[in-house]
Amino acid sequence: MSGLEEFRSRVEAFLGARYPRRPEMLRHGQGDDSLVGAAFRDSDDEVGDLQRARDYQRELFDAGLAWLGGPVEYGGAGLGAEERRAFAEIVRRYDVPDVNGLLVGQQIIAPAILAHGSAGQRARLLPALWSGELVGCQLFSEPGAGSDLASLRTRARRTDGGWRVDGQKVWSSGAHLAHVGELLARTSPDPASRTRGLTMFLLGMDSLGVTVRPLRQMTGTAHFCEVFLDDVFVPDDAVLGEVGGGWAVANVSLNSERDNFGDEGANLFIRLLDRLVLLGQEIGATEDPDVRDRLADGYIRHVIGQVLPASLENAVPEVAAAGASLVKLFATDADRRLAQLALDILGPALVADTGAWGTYAWSRVLLGIHATRIAGGTDEIQRNILAERALGLPREARSFQGGR
Amino acid sequence: MSGLEEFRSRVEAFLGARYPRRPEMLRHGQGDDSLVGAAFRDSDDEVGDLQRARDYQRELFDAGLAWLGGPVEYGGAGLGAEERRAFAEIVRRYDVPDVNGLLVGQQIIAPAILAHGSAGQRARLLPALWSGELVGCQLFSEPGAGSDLASLRTRARRTDGGWRVDGQKVWSSGAHLAHVGELLARTSPDPASRTRGLTMFLLGMDSLGVTVRPLRQMTGTAHFCEVFLDDVFVPDDAVLGEVGGGWAVANVSLNSERDNFGDEGANLFIRLLDRLVLLGQEIGATEDPDVRDRLADGYIRHVIGQVLPASLENAVPEVAAAGASLVKLFATDADRRLAQLALDILGPALVADTGAWGTYAWSRVLLGIHATRIAGGTDEIQRNILAERALGLPREARSFQGGR
Amino acid sequence: MTIVAPTEEQQALRGMLRSFFAERWPEEALRTAAGSAHGHDAQLWKAMAEDLGLHGLAVPEDLGGGGFTYPDLLVVFEEMGRALVAGPFFASIAMASTLLLALPDRDAQERLLPGIAAGERIVTVAAVETPTSWDATRVAVDATGTGGARTITGEKLFVLDAEVADVLLVVVRTEHGTGVAEVDTAAPGVRVEPMATVDTTRRQARIVFESSPARLLAPDHDATPAVRRMCDLAGVALAAEQVGGAHRVLEMATAYAKTREQFGRPIGGFQAIKHLLADQLVSIESARAALGYAATATVTGTGLPVAASVAQTLCSEVFSAAAETNIHVHGGIGFTWEHQAHLYYKRAVSSEVLLGRPRDHRARIAAHLLASPETA
Amino acid sequence: MTIVAPTEEQQALRGMLRSFFAERWPEEALRTAAGSAHGHDAQLWKAMAEDLGLHGLAVPEDLGGGGFTYPDLLVVFEEMGRALVAGPFFASIAMASTLLLALPDRDAQERLLPGIAAGERIVTVAAVETPTSWDATRVAVDATGTGGARTITGEKLFVLDAEVADVLLVVVRTEHGTGVAEVDTAAPGVRVEPMATVDTTRRQARIVFESSPARLLAPDHDATPAVRRMCDLAGVALAAEQVGGAHRVLEMATAYAKTREQFGRPIGGFQAIKHLLADQLVSIESARAALGYAATATVTGTGLPVAASVAQTLCSEVFSAAAETNIHVHGGIGFTWEHQAHLYYKRAVSSEVLLGRPRDHRARIAAHLLASPETA
């Protein structure tokens, strides 16, 4: 048995012993009709979801299946891309807990710690984030600086043994449930310093002076938070990277976030498409050539969503480097098309609940897609990145790189 | 009989005596299958078309039906909007010569002469342009300044009794057949003067040193020209408006051009749509729900194209003032949709000539639409105008108003 | 093709309504109504009826109305769409009142219209039975019995504001084809089941009838033409609401773009935002032109079905796109509950499918176009 | 779903071809061929076959070819699409050679393929009969007679590069269903009538057969699977051409946007142009991903029909849009005859409808999807 085959059967054994297999074929009318959680990031039971995710993650970690690509010294498995793909493929067949609530810590904060953290930070935080012990949140955006991070106003001032932070953050996903926040703050008072005056901190979310207020979204749930920082003390050893070097640390996180977006989005997309196909068949809409045409378009976008990241690795280097922006634009466009198709198929039944299985559930999808065009950098930011970095077109007067 | 009714019967009598009525119902397979000329601005026989247009125009002029809204002292009829609409409605029913070749003189140059011309220029040129005696062309754009007129480089230098002009113009519609050109040139050598250094001239196209070279377009025909000006003498009395006041004169012409675009475009559009409906029925494509859907969309755009200019007159003043840009964006979008529908209906028969009546003729339409998005100011220029003037959004660092 | 310019009266009405709603329908009132059990503000309702006489504006004077034209009434819908007024005005006026006026039943008109016009009686129309398509004439529910006295059993979906309605006009099957039956919401066997809705400013309900007593209106006639006329006229009213809403969200987005700074300048100075908003303006003015065209057709009567569908298609798509753009231009704040942007968006997508999807209306237009192509 | 990264050999082939066409296919050569009677450059043809062995690249070695894979050949099509090479390579290689390899007729393969592979014999496929839809299997022309010796009478449309072809493979009706008949263009009763074409770099013709002698290939088989396989593989080759062309026009537009100044700065500095080009990049990379997916399917064989349609749909639409964008970014100069932009645009719209419109391919995909939805 090759190493890869051995790995596959280890994964199958681990998951098979713990979780039910998903049915091979989805059926309309079977099981929970919610599209949330299973196929869409916006749950009504975040606390329960998160606890299940942490328990699952702990078991994965103990089995060496949590951080497949990570260095062994920090609890990773030191495996390659083939194994990661194999795991992703297998795990999709099992009804495992949704680990969305852990992704910020693992996909956004951990890469920054790995790249810029001290030995102590790495040893303490990387295993904790990947075992589900600690939940992370990002504290970048501010009310006055959505996509324009260089204009942040949260201030950190030197004090004995550390810093005192004042300011307000916003759009922090899951901050109300998080233990550790990746906090970008201004440590140089000179406004002209812009990016050079920023420093990254690893903030304990239970610190005195931290107030978290979940922001209710248009879907009715509250996933994003405002975070108020009122004279919060942060010790010196919580600085991540260099003082004044926060910009570089932030970019590691932002790039990882964009990279991660593609994989996750692609997996959610096919579940929505499958459900829509079944719904269309159930209500006889798939006889309509327009519906058929647009379902086929959805299938095409599903296929491309699957192969685009790998294809971009073979693109010219400038395009490959901006690949995450390209994938995000592709995916948000695909999501919008699918949501509009659902509206056209369901008509009045999408906007008012007839009680029929799996119909009004689409309203949450339609309302939720608007967040994806903004979170993680707006469409406009992504297009700027592509135009400037991939195509080498002139930069804006004052441009910038990331989002959220 | 009211004045309007009297006017209508006068028009009917004039046209009825001279021109055949168009058939009430178009039929597929009947008559010339060309979409050019009748329904699309890009003819293979420009010289013949122009002569017929001039003869027709002369007769209209002598009957007091040429310049309906113009002042009586310059050969106009001094009539109002109702009569103009009535004339347009009636003339559509007769198979009259296509007057496209005269429109630059009448719709673009004449308004500038009326607004800024000397008494002599008005008396001499306005009747001549409106009677078809003189054909006009516009000499604004240059190779280095497409939509950016403020950066023109054609120079006019003072000499005894006039000016000597050197430079090159481009995209001059019909210049190879024109008698008089509306020439915008730089009369102040200071590049910082930009718009203040421009002067407008009325150039005799037979002047020594004027060379006209028709530019072949992608459709294969040559409607636009390059015009080379090599030490061309222009007398003082050919200055239109003030020396250094050319910018204001140009804006009269550019606004008139945009205003005119809407009416003309709307009339061409319905002829194309009718032909496409008949074609679709002929080849059985109108059973396809997608084709039906898009033909209906075409019909909607036809309706809106007809009523949009009148509707915009009732909009808030800033929007009404930028109405021509709005109409142009609406119309070019409608044209593109229709051309794409023709391609989807005809498929291979649009790109290769099967010999079937009225099929390959659409290829000229598909190729020709690209000019409409650029001529008269690109889509981007029109959007800037709307954003800045109608919505009051901030101006570009260095913006500008017109096109062509 | 013609379009009639707004009259001076209409301009005055518009100005008056704009001040009225600015004062009487502040955001708190909207939020309160949207979050309430029935989505209705009885005080505003009373003021609209008693102080302004809006409910009966287009009802003939001898039926207790103001005797104005339908285009006059459209100004009201446009301003209400702009202000996102919650409640049963659309149901009671654009639908029920219109249906009554279209039916050849003078008794019913005299019985019901004065109350509707006075805002004292709320009436709504129960028509649709198919879950995924809004079709008011494809009905199966029978009205058993003879003459005016009938009994009905069955279900209706997507009935607007039924919870606050006093009377239902139920579209039924009869021996003549289609009929309209008057049923009291308080009558025996009538069960109103509220449906969860995306747009909480306009509620919908399922209604179950079990041997409910009903009075068949114009019992000797096929009501199909009247129901169709109601759909057309209500469609134009909906288009007016949509145009009003679309203008409002464009204004919100434009105002925000002028003040919100990113990268050291207002985001409205970036060409991407400028052109996005310019495109919305093109669409919205096109929609307004379509509305003007349809408004004219409500008076001349010629080509109303096609004109109504032209307006419905364009105004539906334009309002949804503009409302989405508004969310997008506002960035993160745009999809919070606290911002108004989502309320307009929810109204927009709900309206988009209310009286038929854009695609359904285009299918109607195509049928007309292919039967008799317009020649130049 | 997998996608195979390009091999080192393919990368070397790509580099070699790019230099070769840059040198041997300058704009003058393209213009000369496009303006010539037959749209074919015999010298280039010879060099491609003799110096590079491109014609037989994917033909097995025992049939005179190079024995390379179809994905290797796709690199050639991508580079030819990029360089807008005129002539019958697509017809003779992507269509005729592919069809011969798919037919169970060793004799025909041995008779025809070595000549095709050597570039000595030009073969094209005559299939379509319906004027407005490119469908290679819906044929009515009969091959009368028995066994291999047949006679055909009828018409075929949209036959690529027939004027320079030596042999036609004619798709016909036979007693087994569909058949493929070999006909010499010089045979009696064969009349090749050139059609005017938008894209003069790839000519098309109507062919009229009047009792023309024909040799039926694989006479005991239904050729439907072989014809379908040709359509799929040729579709992927066309997608490769389209991706190559799309990349090229994006490069042209981007380069122009960097140098062309308006309002005192390069037009590529305006966000409207930047975002327009960024959107094209997203589309083109999506198309390239689709091509990679389909290329992989040509080897694994699983799901080729769907993969080919996925690639055809996306690559067709993307190339047309990119070519139109290129014209637009170039402004006035972009629609002059003298600029290359229109040549790519004409190739793009012609290719868009060549082996079925995007919509036709989506209908195929829908049939597959609705038969067996992919489960996650």
Among candidates D277, D279, D365 on the partner chain, residue whose Cβ is nearest the Cβ of A393: D277
A235 and A280 together in one domain: no
User: What is the amino acid identity at position A208?
Assistant: L
Confidence (pLDDT) at A401:
35
Which one from A46, A242, A257, A380 is the annotated catalytic residue? A257
Residues of chain C with CATH 1.20.140.10: 225-375
Report pLDDT digits (tens) over D267-279: 999 999 999 999 9
Q: Are D73 and D236 in contact (CB under 8 A)?
A: no
Residue B40 has pLDDT above 70, yes or no: no
User: What is the amino acid identity at position B105?
Assistant: G
Across the range B272-290, mean pLDDT stands at 93
d(CA B68, CA B11): 11
> Is the C-alpha dihedral spanning C112, C114, C117, C122 positive or negative?
negative
Q: What is the DSSP string of C84-100?
A: T--STHIIIIIIIIHHH
Q: Are C156 and C185 in contact (CB under 8 A)?
A: no
Q: Are D97 and D59 in contact (CB under 8 A)?
A: yes
Encoded tokens for A7? 């790995």
Residue D321 has pLDDT above 50, yes or no: yes
Residue D233 has pLDDT above 70, yes or no: yes
Encoded tokens for B323? 């109405």
Q: Report the mean per-residue pLDDT for chain A.
A: 88
Min Cα separation D260/chain A (Å) = 12
Confidence (pLDDT) at B398:
44
Chain B positions in Cβ-Cβ contact with residue C370 (cut-off 8 Å):
277, 281, 286, 292, 295
Encoded tokens for C9? 């009266």
Query: Residues 170..199 of B with a Cβ closer than 8 Å to D: which?
Result: 170-171
Subunits with 3+ Cβ pairs within 8 Å of C are A, B, D
Radius of gyration over every alpha carbon of chain A, rounded to an integer in angstroms: 22
> Is the C-alpha dihedral spanning C124, C125, C130, C134 positive or negative?
negative
Is C272 in Cβ contact with D275 (below 8 Å)? yes
d(CA C84, CA C347): 8
Q: What pTM, to 2 d.p., does this model score?
A: 0.91
Chain C positions in Cβ-Cβ contact with residue A379 (cut-off 8 Å):
328
Confidence (pLDDT) at A42:
59
Q: Is residue A403 very low, low, confident or very high in pLDDT (cuts 50, 70, 90)?
A: very low
Q: Within chain A, what is the greatest distance between any pair of CA atoms? A: 72
Across the range D225-235, mean pLDDT stands at 97
Encoded tokens for C16? 């008056």
Confidence (pLDDT) at A400:
38
* Catalytic (active site) residue B257: yes
Question: Does residue B104 fall inside a structural domain?
Answer: no
Encoded tokens for A12? 């199958």
A223 and A303 together in one domain: no
Chain C positions in Cβ-Cβ contact with residue D270 (cut-off 8 Å):
271
What is the three-state SS of chain D? CCCCCCCHHHHHHHHHHHHHHHHHCCHHHHHHHHHCCCCCCHHHHHHHHHHCCCCCCCCCHHHCCCCCCHHHHHHHHHHHHHHCCCCCHHHHHHHHHHHHHHCCCHHHHHHHHHHHHCCCCCEEEECCCCCCCCCCCCCCCEEEEECCEEEEEEEEEEEECHHHCCEEEEEEEECCEEEEEEEECCCCCEEEEEECECCCCCCEEEEEEEEEEEEEECCCCCCHHHHHHHHHHHHHHHHHHHHHHHHHHHHHHHHHHHHCEECCEEHHHCHHHHHHHHHHHHHHHHHHHHHHHHHHHHHHCCCHHHHHHHHHHHHHHHHHHHHHHHHHHHHHHHHECCCCHHHHHHHHHHHHCCCCCHHHHHHHHHHHHHHCCCCC
Residue A38 has pLDDT above 60, yes or no: no
Residue D243 exposure: Cα atoms within 13 Å on the Cβ side: 29
Among candidates D285, D293, D359 on the partner chain, residue whose Cβ is nearest the Cβ of A312: D285
B260 and B375 together in one domain: yes
User: What is the amino acid identity at position A289?
Assistant: P
Q: Is B362 near chain C, with CB under 8 Å?
A: no
Residue B77 has pLDDT above 80, yes or no: yes
- Which of A285, A31, A290, A272 shows the shortest CA–CA distance to C130? A285
Min Cα separation C245/chain D (Å) = 27
Q: Report the mean per-residue pLDDT for chain D.
A: 95
> Measured between alpha carbons, how far is residue A179 from residues A111, A126, A147, A202, A203 in Å?
17, 13, 25, 10, 8
- DSSP structure class, residue A204: E
Min Cα separation B384/chain D (Å) = 10
B316 and B241 together in one domain: no
d(CA B114, CA A170): 59
Across the range D129-152, mean pLDDT stands at 93
Confidence (pLDDT) at A98:
83
Cβ-proximal residues to B95 (8 Å cutoff; 6+ apart), any chain: B19, B20, B21, B22
Residue C178 has pLDDT above 70, yes or no: yes
Q: Is residue B261 very low, low, confident or very high in pLDDT (cuts 50, 70, 90)?
A: low
Query: Using beta carbons and an 8 Å cutoff, which residues of D are at the interface with C?
Result: 270-272, 275
Question: Does residue B119 fall inside a structural domain?
Answer: no
Q: Residue C209's beta-bridge partner residues?
A: C154, C190
Chain D positions in Cβ-Cβ contact with residue B148 (cut-off 8 Å):
262-264
- Which of C162, C249, C203, C241 shows the shortest CA–CA distance to C35? C203
CATH of the domain at A341: 1.20.140.10
Is D337 in Cβ contact with B217 (below 8 Å)? yes
Q: Is residue B43 very low, low, confident or very high in pLDDT (cuts 50, 70, 90)?
A: low
Confidence (pLDDT) at B399:
38
Across the range B338-360, mean pLDDT stands at 95
Encoded tokens for D344? 């790519």
Q: Residue C182's beta-bridge partner residues?
A: C169, C215
Confidence (pLDDT) at D327:
96
Confidence (pLDDT) at D300:
87
Number of C:D CB contacts under 8 A? 8
Query: Residues 273..312 of A with a Cβ closer than 8 Å to D: which?
Result: 273-274, 277-278, 281, 286, 289, 292-293, 295-297, 299-300, 302-304, 306-308, 310-312
Picking from A202, A231, A246, the residue at the C-terminal end of a domain is: A246
B217 and B259 together in one domain: no
Q: Are C353 and C134 in contact (CB under 8 A)?
A: yes
Across the range A217-228, mean pLDDT stands at 88
d(CA A16, CA A3): 20
> Is the C-alpha dihedral spanning D156, D159, D164, D170 positive or negative?
negative
d(CA B319, CA B310): 13
Q: Are C348 and C320 in contact (CB under 8 A)?
A: yes
Min Cα separation D337/chain B (Å) = 5
Residues of chain C with CATH 1.10.540.10: 8-117
Query: Using beta carbons and an 8 Å cutoff, which residues of C are at the interface with A?
Result: 128, 131-134, 157-158, 195-199, 204, 206, 261-264, 270, 272-273, 324, 327-328, 331-332, 334-338, 341-342, 345-346, 349-350, 352-354, 357, 359
B320 and B352 together in one domain: yes
Chain B positions in Cβ-Cβ contact with residue D253 (cut-off 8 Å):
none
Question: Does residue A88 fall inside a structural domain?
Answer: no
Report pLDDT digits (tens) over A271-317: 899 999 999 999 999 999 999 999 999 999 999 999 999 999 999 99
Q: Which residue has the higher pLDDT, A340 or B264?
A: A340
List the single range of A12-26, B319-333, C353-367, D48-62 with lowest mean pLDDT: A12-26
Is D270 in Cβ contact with C275 (below 8 Å)? no
B221 and B337 together in one domain: no
B216 and B279 together in one domain: no
Confidence (pLDDT) at B402:
35
Residue C87 has pLDDT above 60, yes or no: yes
Report pLDDT digits (tens) over C11-42: 999 999 999 999 999 999 999 999 998 899 99
Question: CB count, 10 Å around CB of C310?
Answer: 31
> Is the C-alpha dihedral spanning D12, D15, D18, D22 positive or negative?
negative
Q: Work out the angle at residue D122's Cα, subtended by the Cα atoms of residues D121 and D126, and round it to the nearest 5 degrees.
A: 135
Q: Is A341 near chain D, with CB under 8 Å?
A: no
Q: Dump strand ranges (E) for C161-264.
A: 167-174, 177-184, 190-195, 204-217, 261-262
SS3 C170: strand
Confidence (pLDDT) at B25:
67
Q: Is residue B147 very low, low, confident or very high in pLDDT (cuts 50, 70, 90)?
A: low
Confidence (pLDDT) at A88:
85
Crossing angle for the helix pair C224-259 and C70-83, to the nearest 10 degrees: 40
B231 and B307 together in one domain: no
Q: Which residue has the higher pLDDT, B324 or C163?
A: C163
A220 and A256 together in one domain: no
Residues of chain D with CATH 2.40.110.10: 123-221
Q: Which residue has the higher pLDDT, D362 or B26?
A: D362
What is the three-state SS of B116-181? HCCHHHHHHHHHHHHCCCCCEEEECCECCECCCHHHCCCEEEEECCEEEEEEEEEEEECHHHCCEE
Q: Which residues of B135-144 are buried (b: 16+ CB within 10 A; e: fewer)?
A: bbbbbbbbee
SS3 B288: coil
- Which of A50, A55, A64 shows the shortest CA–CA distance to A19? A55
Min Cα separation B276/chain C (Å) = 10
Across the range D178-190, mean pLDDT stands at 97
A238 and A255 together in one domain: no
What is the three-state SS of C285-329? HHHHHHHHHHHHHHHHCCCHHHHHHHHHHHHHHHHHHHHHHHHHH
Residue A278: alpha-carbon gap to chain centroid: 28
Q: Which residue has the higher pLDDT, A127 or A144?
A: A127
Confidence (pLDDT) at A362:
94
Cβ-proximal residues to C121 (8 Å cutoff; 6+ apart), any chain: C112, C115, C166, C167
Confidence (pLDDT) at A204:
96
Q: Are B220 and B42 in contact (CB under 8 A)?
A: no
Across the range D157-184, mean pLDDT stands at 97
Subunits with 3+ Cβ pairs within 8 Å of A are B, C, D
Q: Is B343 near chain D, with CB under 8 Å?
A: yes
Number of B:D CB contacts under 8 A? 129
Confidence (pLDDT) at D305:
96
Report pLDDT digits (tens) over B286-300: 999 999 999 999 999
Picking from B246, B279, B296, the residue at the C-terminal end of a domain is: B246
Q: Is A369 near chain C, with CB under 8 Å?
A: no
- Which of C74, C102, C96, C86 shows the shortest CA–CA distance to C33? C86
Q: Is residue B401 very low, low, confident or very high in pLDDT (cuts 50, 70, 90)?
A: very low
Confidence (pLDDT) at B98:
83
Report pLDDT digits (tens) over D242-265: 999 999 999 999 999 999 988 888
Confidence (pLDDT) at C372:
65
Across the range C211-216, mean pLDDT stands at 98
- Closest residue on chain C to A363 (Cα): C198
- Residue B161 burial (C-beta neighbours within 10 Å; 0-12, 13-18, 19+): exposed
Residue % of chain B over a pLDDT of 90 = 64
CATH of the domain at B177: 2.40.110.10
Radius of gyration over every alpha carbon of chain B, rounded to an integer in angstroms: 22
Encoded tokens for D340? 């290359």
CATH of C225-375, one of 1.10.150.120, 3.40.1640.10, 3.90.1170.50, 1.20.140.10: 1.20.140.10
Residue D332 has pLDDT above 80, yes or no: yes
Residue A331 has pLDDT above 70, yes or no: yes
Confidence (pLDDT) at A191:
63
Confidence (pLDDT) at D2:
73
Q: Is residue A101 very low, low, confident or very high in pLDDT (cuts 50, 70, 90)?
A: confident
Chain B positions in Cβ-Cβ contact with residue D346 (cut-off 8 Å):
218, 367
Is D374 in Cβ contact with A302 (below 8 Å)? yes
Residue B210 has pLDDT above 90, yes or no: yes
B319 and B279 together in one domain: yes
Overall domain count for chain B: 2
Q: Is residue A149 very low, low, confident or very high in pLDDT (cuts 50, 70, 90)?
A: confident
Q: What is the CATH number of domain D123-221?
A: 2.40.110.10
Q: Is residue B223 very low, low, confident or very high in pLDDT (cuts 50, 70, 90)?
A: confident
Confidence (pLDDT) at D376:
36
- Which of D36, D39, D68 shows the shortest CA–CA distance to D52? D68
Residue A39 has pLDDT above 60, yes or no: no
Encoded tokens for B179? 């008698």
Q: Is residue A190 very low, low, confident or very high in pLDDT (cuts 50, 70, 90)?
A: confident
- Which of A152, A153, A166, A175 shows the shortest CA–CA distance to A225? A175
Q: Is residue C239 very low, low, confident or very high in pLDDT (cuts 50, 70, 90)?
A: very high
Residue A33 has pLDDT above 90, yes or no: no
SS3 B201: strand
List the single range of A210-219, B257-266, D367-376 with lowest mean pLDDT: B257-266
Q: Which domain holds residue A331?
A: 251-390
- Closest residue on chain C to A356 (Cα): C131
Question: Does residue A223 fall inside a structural domain?
Answer: yes
Q: Is A316 near chain C, with CB under 8 Å?
A: no
d(CA B263, CA B99): 14
Question: Does residue A183 fall inside a structural domain?
Answer: yes
List the single range of B86-95, C139-148, C278-287, D342-351 with lowest mean pLDDT: B86-95
Phi and psi at B65, nearest 5°, equal: -115, 10
Say which CATH class C8-117 falls into.
mainly alpha
Report pLDDT digits (tens) over D59-71: 999 999 999 999 9
Taking phi first (over 0 means left), then psi (-120 to 50 degrees means alpha), and beta for anything else, what does residue C119 get?
A: left
Subunits with 3+ Cβ pairs within 8 Å of D are A, B, C
